[in-house]
Amino acid sequence: MSPRRRATSSSRRAEPKDTVLMYPGFALKAGVKAPTTIRAVQRRLNQIGCGPIAVNGIFDRRTQDAVRLLQARAVDGQGQALKIDAVVGPLTWAALFGAHRVPSIADTPISALLKTTLSVASSQVGVMEDPPGSNRGLQVDEYLNAVGLDPASGSHAWCAAFVYWSFKQAAARLGTGNPAIRTAGVLDHWRKAGQAGVTRLSAGDILTDLSLLKPGLIFVINTGGGRGHMGLVEDFRDDRLITIEGNTNLPGDREGVGVFRRHGRMLAEINQGFLSYTS
Query: In terms of pLDDT, which residue wins out, 80 or 176?
Result: 176
Instruction: Find, among 106, 70, 85, 71, the residue nearest to 30 by Cα.
Output: 85
The CATH H-level superfamily of 112-276 is endopeptidase domain like (from Nostoc punctiforme) (3.90.1720.10)
Interstrand relation of 258-265 and 273-276 (parallel, antiparallel or unpaired): unpaired
Mean pLDDT, rounded, of the chain: 89
| pLDDT computed for residue 76 by the predictor | 79
Domain ranges within the chain, ordered by starting residue: 3-101, 112-276
* SS3 (DSSP) at 112: helix
CA angle 124, 125, 126 (to 5 degrees): 105
pTM (two decimals): 0.78
* SS3 (DSSP) at 76: coil
Q: What pairs with residue 245 in β-bridges?
A: 260
Domains 3-101 and 112-276 share a fold: no
Q: How confident is the model at residue 177 (pLDDT cuts 50, 70, 90)?
A: very high
DSSP type of residue 151: G
Select 3-101's CATH number: 1.10.101.10, 3.30.70.520, 2.40.110.20, 1.10.10.10: 1.10.101.10
- Tell how far CA 7 is from the center of its chain: 48
* SS3 (DSSP) at 48: coil
